[in-house]
Structure 1
């Protein structure tokens, strides 16, 4: 039986930035402000884009950027209150939009309600304000299970597990079955940057496909399609074990338009929407937003800006390619075969489980462009200059 996630295209939003909330707030700036309404107000835009899933970054009470959680059971006052969240849920459900929450269960913020569950002398990746939870403590598994079930009961549909690569797999083997028992239709996806993707995905539904992300922008930037070719073969292998969460942008990386420029960013989107996986569009990428991630305090701010809807050729391209994906839903499970390749030219064929196929031809040359064609003469030409 097909799971609803297989027909979901996510619009990924970082709420604090999207809504213009202060990321390093003063005490006065922590005052209750209903900024979640800015997300609610843009749900029709999400639909017009062609998406049907809202992937939210952190919304729980935190000290600064959302990944230093203080209370898992309440909405950050910079975003609003539970009534604002419930209104967002109702409006999503009215439109048939699925909701994914960001669960930061590897670590908590200093001075959180959960310091009694923190591992001794443990900070996360050198960040002194992020304290790693003791995942060997059964009480930690109980807490995470309760949190996940609480918000699923509030009408959400899915979870992103932040820094899942740092949490021992046996921990999720304790938690996930209890979540699925209470909410059998839930979809759980883990953030995994490196390591055994299939192993991390085994207790849950999916993990992030960072290998494919890297090979997409790197091949376009370096004009070396052989890297992408290698990773598409690797991508085929992963499909035997799970359906990956795919993307070309998110809240943790430099914007794709900044990485490779808009003409090549259009090709990155083409690859994303013609290969297998559960794809996500990071808010603003569809408008050609630029932003450089830097390794310093506030270095993420440029890729997490306030959102203002607009129009652009990039938006129109997103709408056309998402609509193409909708017309060919089998692409979610497609495997790819390389037909022809040079450093700057790649022709691959995406094939479905019932002999469906499309051909994708990417050419960097003097003018980056792509052509997508299918056996039923459904064709799209991609070129942004």
Structure 2
């Protein structure tokens, strides 16, 4: 993992939705629409929030939602041109922000050039080996084969990851955009691709760009084994995402402490990419049954080991429910205003919450690799110590309807949260939390 990632905190954005791009690809003869400036106008907002990286969703030419890529070397005309993307990256770098791209290399759209070659030709097409095809007997040119797709989506044609030419192509694509200034890659649906494929792809990327950060989307399974076998720097921590909101909704901090113990073991191998929201799931403010617990979730995100990611809009208290239907992601991928504008009400409150906790993280960069020691756990009360070496912070969370007092040994001050810290008769410290309260506390 590159050294700079030790301090990285991402603002994750889905550009097609954010900028209000058309739902379908533009006609072939249409002029590009220069929408990257819309994103550029939000970069100062990212800096003001305290984050230092922008993780872009798909930006390459595609047929609909960006995950049905037709050309990995061309910016989607709905967003602009290659020059527009490079200008955005330069503007981000000028503000001290890193930029990653979203690489969809498990599957492609049916309009992908090599697949179109196959449809026009026959089993003898040069590109036929790029896909997992099944041809009818006696297939003639123009016959469409059956093919493996992605999770039953016929419009998403699975690539053949045993084909050396596919591995070479992916290496070339990754290097092409790293050459143009981007800082790393998210590998979409990395879990659906054999780890051995990434192990063939990434050496050529590392040789050309040793400072690039590469992380994979992995939902479940043995995260550490995938990192070791594939050669990626990290994977997404969906286990922690799920247990964070479900433990808060169920009033069951034992679930979270169990997941934190598993998370602890991962840190022996790699530092996971952590999050409480992204473009594929219901937004945190809608997922939680009690909006007061948004603060608890964000506090966990920013005080445990990991490379944290804030999904654009969560820092403004946005809501949105993902539905299992066509277009069901639209509510969590909305159009954003042309500029951030002045914040008030719930948006201002959510921004302050994120800003304050990101500030704690920036002042304690060792939290990136912090280990967690649980000091108190009941269904509705949790105190844990995040520590690295001699440095530590304490986190106290309550889901109770009445004020509570919790032991916080070694606490010396309140870093974030609405809490009162007191000394206990005979030594030690206690923190008083309001109903459904929380606090991050200094030690030492």
TM-score normalised by the chain length of structure 1: 0.95
Q: Aligned in 2, Cα 1:135/1:207: closer, same or farther, shift over 3 Å?
A: same
Q: Secondary structure at the match of 1:189?
A: strand
Rg larger in 1 or in 2? 2
For structure 2, the residue ranges without an aligned partner over 5 or more in a row are 116-126, 134-146, 419-433, 438-444
Equivalent residue in structure 2 for 1:134, among 147, 150, 160: 160
Matches within 5 A, 1:115-130: 115=115, 116=127, 117-120=130-133, 121-130=147-156
Q: Aligned in 2, Cα 1:82/1:328: closer, same or farther, shift over 3 Å?
A: same
Question: Offset at 1:376?
Answer: 5.8
State the Cα RMSD in Å.
Answer: 2.2
Partner of 1:157: 183
Question: Offset at 1:373?
Answer: 10
Partner of 1:271: 300
Are positions 1:287 and 2:316 aligned together? Answer: yes
Equivalent residue in structure 1 for 2:334, among 305, 317, 323: 305
Contact kept, 8 Å, 1:267 with 1:369, in 2: the verdict is no
Output one character per residue of 1:2-35: Cα deviation in whole Å (capped at 9) or x when no partner.
7101101100000001111122356499641111
C-alpha distance in 1 between matches for 2:2 and 2:68: 36
Output one character per residue of 1:125-166: Cα deviation in whole Å (capped at 9) or x when no partner.
000100000000000000000000000000000100000000
Q: Secondary structure at the match of 2:295?
A: helix
Contact kept, 8 Å, 2:25 with 2:62, in 1: the verdict is no
Question: Offset at 1:378?
Answer: 4.9
Equivalent residue in structure 2 for 1:350, among 381, 386, 390: 386
Question: Offset at 1:177?
Answer: 1.0
Contact kept, 8 Å, 2:62 with 2:71, in 1: the verdict is yes
Question: Offset at 1:244?
Answer: 0.2
C-alpha distance in 2 between matches for 1:302 and 1:329: 34
Matches within 5 A, 1:137-216: 137-202=163-228, 203-216=231-244
Contact kept, 8 Å, 1:165 with 1:191, in 2: the verdict is yes
Question: Offset at 1:267?
Answer: 1.0
C-alpha distance in 2 between matches for 1:289 and 1:29: 37
C-alpha distance in 2 between matches for 1:289 and 1:30: 33
Contact kept, 8 Å, 1:108 with 1:114, in 2: the verdict is no
Q: Secondary structure at the match of 1:114?
A: helix
Output one character per residue of 1:142-196: Cα deviation in whole Å (capped at 9) or x when no partner.
0000000000000000100000000001101101111000000001000000111
Question: Offset at 1:307?
Answer: 1.6
Are positions 1:248 and 2:276 aligned together? Answer: yes
Aligned residues: 384
Partner of 1:335: 371
Q: Aligned in 2, Cα 1:375/1:164: closer, same or farther, shift over 3 Å?
A: same
Are positions 1:262 and 2:298 aligned together? Answer: no
C-alpha distance in 2 between matches for 1:90 and 1:42: 14
Contact kept, 8 Å, 1:8 with 1:278, in 2: the verdict is yes
Output one character per residue of 1:226-251: Cα deviation in whole Å (capped at 9) or x when no partner.
10000000000000000000000000
Q: Aligned in 2, Cα 1:336/1:56: closer, same or farther, shift over 3 Å?
A: same
Question: Offset at 1:119?
Answer: 1.8
C-alpha distance in 1 between matches for 2:315 and 2:287: 15
For structure 1, the residue ranges without an aligned partner over 5 or more in a row are none
C-alpha distance in 2 between matches for 1:223 and 1:19: 38
C-alpha distance in 2 between matches for 1:367 and 1:149: 56
Contact kept, 8 Å, 1:40 with 1:91, in 2: the verdict is yes
